[in-house]
Amino acid sequence: MELVGHCRKCGIEIFCKDGFLDGVISAENELFCFKCAEDRLTITCEDVILREYRLEDLDALQELTWQPEIYEFLPGWNVPKEQRLDWLAHYEINENKQFLSAVAAGGRIGELRLRLGIILKETGELIGWCCTGIKEELPSPGREIMFAISKHHRGKGYTTQAAKGMINYLFENTDVNELHAIALLTNQPSNRVIQKCGFVFSSIIEIDGDAYNRYLYSQSKWLD
């Protein structure tokens, strides 16, 4: 058994065992362990990491969506576990791959969605999510970012870190030049996160009978 090197992401030692490499060498000639190679995208923030959804995230995602503090503002997300698994396995993970393929091909992402888990560095626990996609109720092209955090990890700045990480990734790697974010007028924590990220209030809009603050963040403002 011969030490070949260390994983580019997590630093774990990678060996050649009986002629077989215990890892993966990327097209850029970088070395990754098998686990890190599964995640084509990792965004590192101060205290949290954003990474693609995995099938093993099912239980954590299910628990999060059934927290009253989350489904109060996302009522359609607290579905049975079987439905959550179907979404995760057949839609969300697959569309993440399509999104990243579009980024690799030049960054024209169209209406594709990207769904990332928020991982606490200290424990490796999935504590929330940060996503981007097209919302039909918003002015075209209507790309928004959205987020949620566990009730056990609120008020620590983790959501703001994750949202800023997503914003930076989109403006640096895709053809997006404007982002939306919305929050119910009564959802003060989300409004504060959006404002801390640099979004500018635009208007109040109504969706399904509820009033939302709508915010905008342009790439030109981000570049300043």
Read off the pLDDT of residues 25-46 as tens digits, 9 standing for 90 and up.
Answer: 765 577 877 777 665 689 999 9
pLDDT of the residue at 37: 66
- Structurally, the chain folds into a number of domains equal to 2
Q: What tokens does 197 get?
A: 């990220």
Same domain for 34 and 45? no
The answer to whether the Cα torsion of 44, 50, 54, 58 is positive or negative is positive
62-87 residue pLDDT tens:
999 999 888 888 877 889 999 999 99
Give the pLDDT score at 128: 97
Considering the domain architecture, whether residues 167 and 67 belong to the same structural domain is answered as: yes
Same domain? 118 vs 57: yes
CATH code at position 156: 3.40.630.30
Task: Please report the pLDDT score of residue 11 as a whole number.
Answer: 77
Same structural domain for residues 92 and 201?
Answer: yes
Which of 149, 151, 215 has the alpha carbon at shortest distance from 183? Answer: 215
Query: Does 29 share its domain with 46?
Result: no
| Residue 50 shares a structural domain with residue 23 | no
Question: What is each CA distance from 141 to 59, 147, 165, in whole angstroms?
Answer: 33, 19, 21
In the predicted model, what is the mean pLDDT of residues 181-205?
97
Looking at the predicted structure, is the pLDDT value of residue 95 above 60?
Answer: yes
- Burial environment of residue 105 by CB neighbours within 10 A (0 to 12, 13 to 18, 19 or more): exposed
Based on the domain organization, do 127 and 113 belong to the same domain? Answer: yes
Q: Examine the domain organization and report whether 165 and 202 are in the same domain.
A: yes
To the nearest whole percent, how much of the chain has pLDDT over 70? Answer: 96
User: pTM (2 decimals)?
Assistant: 0.83
The β-bridge partners of 43 are: 50
Task: Give one DSSP letter per residue of 10-23, joined into a string.
Answer: T--EEEEETTEESS
Q: What is the pLDDT of residue 29?
A: 72
The Cα-based distances of 70 to 7, 26, 84, 150 in angstroms read 36, 38, 15, 8
Which pLDDT score, from 0 to 100, does residue 74 have? 81
- The tally of CA atoms less than 13 A away on the side-chain side of residue 3 is 6
Contact predicate 48/161, CB 8 Å: yes
Judgement on whether residues 23 and 102 belong to the same structural domain of the protein: no
The predicted pLDDT at position 20 comes to: 82
Residues 68 and 19 in one domain: no
DSSP secondary structure of 88-133? IIIIIHHHHHHHHHHHHTTS--TT--EEEEEEETTT--EEEEEEEE
pLDDT tens digits along 170-182 = 999 999 999 999 9
* pLDDT averaged over every residue in the chain: 91
**What span, in angstroms and rounded, lies between the C-alpha atoms of 211 and 204?**
7
- Structural contact between residues 217 and 199, judged by C-beta atoms closer than 8 angstroms: yes
> 39 or 128, which is more confident?
128
CA distance 62 to 98: 24
* Helix, strand, or coil (residue 1): coil
Same domain, 8 and 78: no
What is the average pLDDT across 132-138? Answer: 96
Q: Does one domain contain both 172 and 65?
A: yes
What token pair was written down for 105? Answer: 């091909």
Domain that holds residue 123: 40-223
